[in-house]
Amino acid sequence: MSNFYFVLVSKSVTNKIPVMGLYSTYIFPKLINLGMSGEATARYRASMLKHAQGQVLEIGFGTGLNLPFYPEHVRKIYTVDVNAGMNSLAHKKIVKSSIEVDHHILNAENLPFPNDFFDTVVSTWTLCSIKDINSALQEILRVVKPAGKFIFVEHGLSNETHIQKRQNFLTPLQKVIGNGCHLNRNMEELIQQAGFRFEVLHKEYAKGSSKVGGYLYYGISVK
């Protein structure tokens, strides 16, 4: 997991389409695709996405980096991402995949799906960038079935005070360069406060990453 990604860029799911012009539409998607396609991120994707089943929604589809890691029984997924600039890179992966992708260009705070619609909702390195994260988590809670699962891999607030201070200091810059990415969100608290209960929760520094951007929360939660 590259230090470059975690300090400078993150997947963008903001309240509206970013207004950073060429950077947001053309440069940022390429940085995401490059920075998040390494072996370290692949290991986390593989360990968590193997639990996906039934009707699946992926929040922050980005350039489609999760596609190779869904189990064979997942034949179709619904996806949302606010950054239309991700589409061309995502399309190349969709063409090579056996999974049908029903993609929607919109934010996660207003999902166009019925209540209790999905068996699995997936979010990987996305919650850091959603502008109104509480509304997005409420939407995820709404659309997942009572027996469904919310599978997540996210970076956020460290468990070390001195690292937290650095994260708080650098987050304003990170939000600009990383299209809304926050380094200092406590993902455990946010997910729990939204109304989820953790079945599995791991917290650790990702190997090979900076501590400022590499403290990971990953696991499975239910209503």
Among the listed residues 59, 65, 139, 63, the one whose alpha carbon sits nearest the alpha carbon of residue 106: 59
Q: How confident is the model at residue 23 (pLDDT cuts 50, 70, 90)?
A: confident
| Plot region of 125 (φ>0 → left; ψ -120 to 50 → alpha; else → beta) | left
pLDDT digits (tens, 9 = 90+) for 160-169: 999 999 999 9
Ordered domains of the chain (ranges, CATH): 3-222 (3.40.50.150)
4 — pLDDT class (breaks 50, 70, 90): very low
Q: Length of the chain, please?
A: 223
- State pLDDT tens for residues 33-79: 999 999 999 999 999 999 999 999 999 999 999 999 999 999 999 99
Question: For residues 62 and 21, what is the distance between their CA atoms, to the nearest angstrom?
Answer: 17
Residues 213-221 have a mean pLDDT of: 98
Q: How confident is the model at residue 125 (pLDDT cuts 50, 70, 90)?
A: very high
